[in-house]
C-alpha cells in the first residue's frame, strides 16, 4: 500500500522533474500542477493535506509516525518543486550563471586568528567560494544553515567533498517551504538552526512546525553508526491533536508571506539599537508586507528591487510604484504610491543618486555605524551576541558608486584573513590551520564574551607568518585593513592590495519617509563640509589598523574631493546669491515698469494732443 502511495507521489511530481531545466515553461502548460495554476480566486487555498516522508511514505499515526515529513515530497504532490528550487533562496551554488547583483555574503569569522572573510557561492566579486578556503558543503550548511531555507548545497552537496561529513546520517537539508509559507504563529524558525546544530538536517523542517517535536540528535551518534547499533536516529513525536480523522493535517500555508518570516533571515539593526528606538521601514509602518514589492512567480526568482533584474514578473522598483513606470517608461503597477515631488531637488540628483541614497538606511553621520544582520550575527538564535562590537564588523551606510554610475548606500565589510601567494593570486588559508600551526602566537582567550578583533601586534603577525612559512605555506601573507602584510627578508612589510579591498553590497531598507530623506531639510544635508554623505569617514577596520584610521567617503562615492569641497563651500554664499539676484531682479522689474508706464503716458498724451488738435481744426472749420 505504501509502495503504491510512493509510486503515485513519484508519478505526480514527475512532470515537474521532467520540466525544462531553464524553467521557461508557462504555468498553465501541461506540466503545470494543480497548486501552481491560479484559478482567479483571491482567497488563500486551504491546505488540508497528507504528509509524506522523504521516501514518499505517507505519515500515518502508529505506523511511520516517528519520521519527519518532507516538504519536497509533500508539497511536490501539487507544486513544481523542481522549478521552485531554482529560486534565489535555493540556487546558491547551483546556478553560477546568474549571480544577480552582489548581495549580503555569508561571513566566516574567527576571533583568535583575526579572520573575517565574505563567502558566497554566487561568485560575487570580492567574495570567496567556500571551497577556496577548503570549506565543504557539510561545513557550510552546519555553519550557516540556521538562516537558510534549505535546498542548494544542502540538498546536493557537490562543490567540496568532506571526509568528515555525515550526510548519510543527517540526511539532506531539503527546501523547507514552511520557512516562508507557514503562517501559523506557532512556527518557530529558530528551531531550524537548532536542529542543524545537532546535525538533524532531515528533521529540521518538521521541528519548526506545531505538528510535533523532534527528539534525539545525529550529533550524538558515532560516524560509523548503522541501524541496529547502540543509539538511534532522532524521531518525531507528532501531536495527535493536529491530525484529522483521515490522517490529514491542516497547514496554514499562505502566498502572502508574513514579514516575520522574511525578517528572521533579513533583519538588520544598527549597533546599539534597542527594541524601542529601532528604525522601522516606512512601507512596513504603512501596513505593507515585504512580499508586496518582493514578488515572485512560480520560479521563485523574487524581485530584488533593482532595475535591471531579470524576472518573469518584471522589475518591481521604487520607480515602478512611485512613478508608475520603470526607468524605460514601462508602466508596472497600479498601486499609485505617493508621487515624489522632490521640491527644490534638481534633476541631476535623480540622475546621479539611487532612490535609496536619500531614502534608505540610517541617516549618514560623520562615520558609518556598525550593524548586525540576521545572517552574519545569527540574530534570532541562541548564538546571537548582543554586543555592538561583536564580529563580523559590518559598517553602514557607505555611499559608493555602482556600475550604473549612480551612488548607492551600502553595507561594508573589510576582509581580514591569512593567505598564501600563488603568483599574484591570494589563496586564503583556513583559520583552523592557522590556529593549528601558529596558535601559540595568537592571543589567548578563545572564548571571549565579546568576540571582537584580537589585539594583534606587528610582531604577532610576523611570528605567525614565519610559523606558516616554516610549516610549508609558501609566501604566507595576512590581509587586513586593505593592506597585504608579508615577510621580506624576515621583516614584516605591508602594501595596499586588491585582495584587501572591502566588500560592499547595496542596502535598501529601512526606507525612510520623504520628510526624513536626505535633502528634505536643506541642500546642506549633503552640501556641507560637515555632511556625512559626502565628507564622512569610513573606518578602516581590522586587527592591525589604528583606532581612528579612516578613508574619506569620496573614495567610495567616486567624487572628486577638491571640487566637491569647493562646491559644498559655495553653499555658504548661496543665501547672499539668492538675495542679490532677487534684489536686482526687483530693480530691473521696477525700471521696466517705470519706463513702460512712461511709454503708456506718452502714448496717451500724444493721443490726447492729436485729439485736441483735431477738435481744434474741426472748430476752425
Partner 1 sequence: MDTFCEITWIGLAVVVVGIWLHTIIASPRGKGPLWLKIRTIRLLFDSAGLLLPGKGRLIVGWLARLAAVVVVSSTVVLAITGFIPALRGERLSGYLLLIHVSVGPVLVVAATFWVLVRAARFTFGASDWYALKAAVLRDRWFGPSPTYPGPVAKVCFWALATLILPLGLSIVLSMFRIFDTETLIFMEEVHRYCALAFCGLGLIYAYLVARHRAFDVRSNDLEGKETCYGDDGTTKLSQIRKTEPC
In sequence order, what are the residues at sequence separation of 6 or more whose Cβ sits closer than 8 angstroms to the Cβ of residue 191?
204, 207, 208
In sequence order, what are the residues at sequence separation of 6 or more whose Cβ sits closer than 8 angstroms to the Cβ of residue 171?
54, 201, 202, 203
- Is residue 455 at the binding interface for partner 1, with CB under 8 A as the rule? no
Whichever of 34 and 581 has its CB closer to partner 1, that residue is: 581
Q: How far is the CB of 347 from partner 1 (least distance, A)?
A: 5
**Out of 223, 595, 605, 609, which residue is the one contacting partner 1 (CB under 8 A)?**
595
Q: How far is the CB of 317 from partner 1 (least distance, A)?
A: 17
Q: How far is the CB of 574 from partner 1 (least distance, A)?
A: 7
Whichever of 298 and 559 has its CB closer to partner 1, that residue is: 559
304: left (phi over 0), alpha (psi -120 to 50) or beta: alpha
Whichever of 18 and 596 has its CB closer to partner 1, that residue is: 596
**Out of 344, 405, 445, 490, which residue is the one contacting partner 1 (CB under 8 A)?**
344
H helices, E strands: number in the chain: 21, 18
| Residue 255: DSSP 8-state | S
- Is residue 350 at the binding interface for partner 1, with CB under 8 A as the rule? yes
- Is residue 570 at the binding interface for partner 1, with CB under 8 A as the rule? yes
| Residue among 356, 347, 352, 369 at smallest CA distance from 557 | 352
Span of 283-291, 334-342, 384-392, 543-551 interacting with partner 1 by CB under 8 A: 334-342
| Residue among 331, 302, 346, 51 at smallest CA distance from 178 | 51
Span of 74-82, 115-123, 148-156, 335-343 interacting with partner 1 by CB under 8 A: 335-343
From CA 350, how far away is CA 608, in angstroms rounded? 59
**CB half-sphere exposure, 257, CA atoms < 13 A:** 20
- Is residue 342 at the binding interface for partner 1, with CB under 8 A as the rule? yes
| Residue among 155, 123, 127 at smallest CA distance from 141 | 155
From CA 231, how far away is CA 221, in angstroms rounded? 7
Q: How far is the CB of 514 from partner 1 (least distance, A)?
A: 12
From CA 195, how far away is CA 213, in angstroms rounded? 11
- Is residue 582 at the binding interface for partner 1, with CB under 8 A as the rule? yes
| Residue 502: DSSP 8-state | P
- Locate the DSSP E strands across 301-443: 369-373, 394-401, 407-413, 417-422, 425-428
Counting every residue written for the chain, the total comes to 621
- Is residue 580 at the binding interface for partner 1, with CB under 8 A as the rule? yes
Segment 434-437 long-range contacts (CB within 8 Å, at least 24 positions apart): 434/113, 434/115, 434/464, 434/468, 435/110, 435/112, 435/113, 437/467, 437/468, 437/471, 437/473
Q: How far is the CB of 293 from partner 1 (least distance, A)?
A: 23
Q: Which residue carries 511536490 as its cell?
A: 76
- Is residue 560 at the binding interface for partner 1, with CB under 8 A as the rule? yes
Span of 220-228, 281-289, 392-400, 567-575 interacting with partner 1 by CB under 8 A: 567-575
- Is residue 574 at the binding interface for partner 1, with CB under 8 A as the rule? yes
Span of 132-140, 147-155, 204-212, 348-356 interacting with partner 1 by CB under 8 A: 348-356
- Is residue 227 at the binding interface for partner 1, with CB under 8 A as the rule? no
Interacting positions 523-552 with partner 1 (CB under 8 A): 523
- Is residue 598 at the binding interface for partner 1, with CB under 8 A as the rule? yes
**CB half-sphere exposure, 423, CA atoms < 13 A:** 1
Whichever of 248 and 349 has its CB closer to partner 1, that residue is: 349
In sequence order, what are the residues at sequence separation of 6 or more whose Cβ sits closer than 8 angstroms to the Cβ of residue 522?
none
From CA 563, how far away is CA 423, in angstroms rounded? 39
Whichever of 38 and 567 has its CB closer to partner 1, that residue is: 567
Whichever of 103 and 340 has its CB closer to partner 1, that residue is: 340
370 bridge partner residues: 395
**Out of 566, 572, 597, 600, which residue is the one contacting partner 1 (CB under 8 A)?**
566
**Out of 10, 331, 382, 577, which residue is the one contacting partner 1 (CB under 8 A)?**
577
- Is residue 572 at the binding interface for partner 1, with CB under 8 A as the rule? no
- Is residue 592 at the binding interface for partner 1, with CB under 8 A as the rule? yes
Whichever of 294 and 352 has its CB closer to partner 1, that residue is: 352
- Is residue 613 at the binding interface for partner 1, with CB under 8 A as the rule? no
From CA 109, how far away is CA 89, in angstroms rounded? 23
- Is residue 588 at the binding interface for partner 1, with CB under 8 A as the rule? yes
Distance of CA 15 to the CA centre of its chain: 33
**Out of 11, 348, 489, 620, which residue is the one contacting partner 1 (CB under 8 A)?**
348
Whichever of 240 and 404 has its CB closer to partner 1, that residue is: 404
- Is residue 607 at the binding interface for partner 1, with CB under 8 A as the rule? no
Span of 3-11, 142-150, 233-241, 565-573 interacting with partner 1 by CB under 8 A: 565-573
From CA 4, how far away is CA 315, in angstroms rounded? 44
- Is residue 341 at the binding interface for partner 1, with CB under 8 A as the rule? yes
Q: What is the largest CA-CA distance in the chain?
A: 142
- Is residue 346 at the binding interface for partner 1, with CB under 8 A as the rule? yes
Q: How far is the CB of 616 from partner 1 (least distance, A)?
A: 21
Interacting positions 469-498 with partner 1 (CB under 8 A): none
Whichever of 351 and 424 has its CB closer to partner 1, that residue is: 351
Binding site for partner 1 (CB under 8 A): 340-348, 350-351, 523, 560, 563, 566-567, 570, 574, 577-578, 580-582, 584-585, 587-589, 591-592, 595, 598-599
Amino acid at each position: 500500500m505504501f509502495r503504491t502511495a510512493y509510486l503515485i507521489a513519484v508519478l505526480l511530481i514527475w512532470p515537474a522533474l521532467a520540466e525544462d531545466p531553464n524553467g521557461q515553461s508557462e504555468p498553465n502548460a501541461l506540466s503545470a500542477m494543480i497548486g501552481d495554476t491560479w484559478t482567479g480566486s483571491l482567497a488563500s487555498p486551504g491546505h488540508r493535506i497528507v504528509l509524506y516522508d522523504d521516501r514518499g511514505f505517507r505519515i500515518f499515526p502508529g505506523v511511520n509516525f516517528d519520521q519527519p515529513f518532507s516538504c519536497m515530497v509533500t508539497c511536490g504532490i501539487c507544486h513544481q518543486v523542481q522549478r521552485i528550487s531554482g529560486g534565489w533562496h535555493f540556487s546558491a551554488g547551483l546556478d553560477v550563471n546568474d549571480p544577480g547583483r552582489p548581495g549580503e555574503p555569508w561571513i566566516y569569522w574567527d576571533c583568535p586568528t583575526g579572520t573575517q572573510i565574505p563567502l558566497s557561492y554566487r561568485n560575487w566579486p570580492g567574495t570567496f567560494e567556500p571551497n577556496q578556503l577548503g570549506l565543504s558543503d557539510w561545513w557550510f550548511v552546519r555553519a550557516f544553515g540556521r538562516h537558510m531555507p534549505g535546498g542548494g548545497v544542502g540538498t546536493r552537496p557537490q562543490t567540496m567533498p568532506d571526509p568528515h561529513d555525515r550526510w548519510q546520517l543527517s540526511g539532506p537539508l531539503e527546501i523547507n517551504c514552511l520557512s516562508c509559507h507557514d503562517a501559523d504563529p506557532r512556527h518557530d524558525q529558530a528551531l531550524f538552526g537548532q536542529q542543524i546544530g545537532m546535525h538533524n538536517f532531515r528533521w529540521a523542517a518538521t521541528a519548526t512546525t506545531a505538528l510535533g517535536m523532534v527528539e534525539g540528535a545525529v550529533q550524538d551518534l558515532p560516524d560509523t553508526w548503522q541501524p541496529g547499533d547502540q543509539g538511534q536516529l532522532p524521531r518525531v513525536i507528532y501531536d495527535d491533536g493536529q491530525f484529522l480523522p483521515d490522517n490529514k493535517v491542516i497547514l496554514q500555508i499562505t502566498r502572502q508571506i508574513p514579514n516575520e518570516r522574511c525578517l528572521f533571515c533579513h533583519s538588520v539593526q544598527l549597533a546599539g539599537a534597542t527594541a524601542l528606538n529601532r528604525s522601522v521601514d516606512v512601507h512596513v509602518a504603512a501596513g505593507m508586507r515585504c512580499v508586496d514589492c518582493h514578488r515572485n512567480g512560480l520560479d521563485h526568482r523574487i524581485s530584488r528591487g533593482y532595475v535591471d533584474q531579470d524576472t518573469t514578473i518584471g522589475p518591481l522598483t521604487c520607480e515602478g510604484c512611485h512613478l508608475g513606470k520603470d526607468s524605460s517608461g514601462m508602466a508596472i503597477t497600479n498601486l499609485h504610491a505617493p508621487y515624489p515631488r522632490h521640491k527644490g531637488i534638481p534633476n541631476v540628483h535623480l540622475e546621479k543618486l539611487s532612490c535609496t541614497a536619500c531614502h534608505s538606511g540610517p541617516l549618514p553621520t560623520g562615520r558609518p555605524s556598525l550593524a548586525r544582520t540576521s545572517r552574519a550575527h545569527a540574530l534570532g538564535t541562541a548564538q546571537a551576541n548582543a554586543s555592538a562590537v561583536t564580529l563580523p564588523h559590518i559598517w553602514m551606510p557607505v555611499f559608493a558608486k555602482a556600475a550604473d554610475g549612480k551612488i548607492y548606500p551600502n553595507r561594508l565589510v573589510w576582509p581580514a584573513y591569512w593567505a598564501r601567494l600563488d603568483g599574484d593570486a591570494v589563496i586564503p588559508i583556513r583559520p583552523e590551520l592557522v590556529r593549528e600551526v601558529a596558535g601559540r602566537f595568537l592571543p589567548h582567550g578563545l572564548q571571549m564574551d565579546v568576540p571582537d578583533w584580537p589585539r594583534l601586534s606587528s610582531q604577532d603577525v610576523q611570528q605567525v607568518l614565519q610559523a606558516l612559512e616554516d610549516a610549508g605555506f609558501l609566501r604566507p601573507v595576512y590581509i587586513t585593513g586593505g593592506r597585504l602584510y608579508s615577510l621580506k627578508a624576515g621583516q614584516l612589510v605591508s602594501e595596499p592590495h586588491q585582495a584587501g579591498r572591502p566588500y560592499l553590497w547595496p542596502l535598501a531598507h529601512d526606507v525612510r519617509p520623504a520628510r526624513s530623506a536626505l535633502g528634505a531639510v536643506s541642500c546642506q544635508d549633503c552640501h556641507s563640509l560637515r555632511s556625512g554623505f559626502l565628507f564622512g569617514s569610513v573606518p578602516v577596520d581590522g586587527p592591525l589598523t589604528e583606532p581612528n584610521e579612516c578613508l574619506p567617503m569620496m573614495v567610495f562615492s567616486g567624487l572628486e574631493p577638491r571640487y566637491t569641497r569647493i562646491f559644498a563651500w559655495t553653499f555658504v554664499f548661496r543665501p547672499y546669491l539668492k538675495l542679490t539676484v532677487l534684489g536686482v531682479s526687483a530693480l530691473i522689474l521696477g525700471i521696466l515698469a517705470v519706463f513702460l508706464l512712461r511709454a503708456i503716458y506718452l502714448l496717451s498724451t500724444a493721443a490726447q494732443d492729436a485729439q485736441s488738435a483735431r477738435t481744434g481744426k474741426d472748430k476752425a472749420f
